[in-house]
Amino acid sequence: MKFGYFGINWGPFAEPDGLARLARAAEAAGYESIWTGEHVVIVDPQKPPSPIAPLTPLLDTVASLAFVAGQTERIRLGSGIILLAQRNPVVLAKELAAVDVLSKGRLIFGVGVGYVKGEFDAIGVPFEERGARTSEHIEAIRALWTQEAPAFKGEFTSFEGIQSRPLPKQQPHPPIVVGGMSPPAYRRAVAQGNGWYGFMLSPDATAEALAGLREAAQQVERPASLGELEITITPPPPIDRDGVKRFEDMGVSRLVLMRDFSDMHAPRHDHVGDEIIAFVEKTAKDLGIH
């Protein structure tokens, strides 16, 4: 089992010293990866389904991963998750390739669709197009990362006669992890992803999701080049060794932990930052992370 930690770019860690401290602590404790969260904007006032308060400090994913790349040496850097429909795929491909190069090949490209309509309205992307845009953007980015003469023609993005160098360090490209717990997300993961990410899922909910992924595998073709679908889960806290074993027996490859979802709302210079660092270190010992 590989272990990650989720939520490095918000709340008490939305400033350079705290972010660097958390990243270094996770690396020293033996975690395989650290993961950002993402909302480009937050609706104000908060209303369902928005999960976070409007004034929550939340650093940009790409900037955070680039910063952490320079603060660490080994730990992998996951975007958990980039709301891909809200991004320009040509620009994002360039930014993330740079993160992979500067980190010497440590990027994990986590993507998802998004579910808060007000965020899409602010960015100017039709909410009803988010699924189609996400699927297309994955392939546009893959073309830019892998083709000698990149060319792509889609409904939302088209290009040819261009280059975007340097290419990512990882070949053929950084692993693409598709998030989401809906049938379309399952099909997207099977057809386009190296992995799938389920957020805040209990073992029982994970079993249901894995059944959904198996069903999706009967509906869409999986390219052989993607290999076996790697399963990543963020479980609800707390998690102990028995819980880890239960996930492992189900075929989960990576657990991306978090102390508590409320940590994202903590002030930047609050004692909560110290408590989270202590949790990261204690959990590594309790679970035998190394």
Same domain, 234 and 265: no
Domain span holding position 217: 181-242
The pLDDT confidence band at residue 61, using thresholds 50, 70 and 90, is very high
The pLDDT confidence band at residue 272, using thresholds 50, 70 and 90, is confident
Same domain, 198 and 208: yes
pLDDT value, residue 271: 85
pLDDT value, residue 260: 87
Buried b (16+ CB within 10 A) or exposed e, 73-85: eebbbbbbbbbbb
Same domain, 230 and 160: no
Same domain, 70 and 135: yes
Decide if 52 contacts 58 (C-beta within 8 A): yes
Same domain, 130 and 266: yes
Tell me how many domains the chain contains.
Answer: 2
Same domain, 126 and 113: yes
- For the chain, counts of helices (H) and of strands (E): 9, 11
pLDDT value, residue 252: 98
pTM over 0.85: yes
State yes or no: pLDDT of 276 exceeds 70: yes
pLDDT value, residue 268: 62
pLDDT in tens, 17-33: 999 999 999 999 999 99
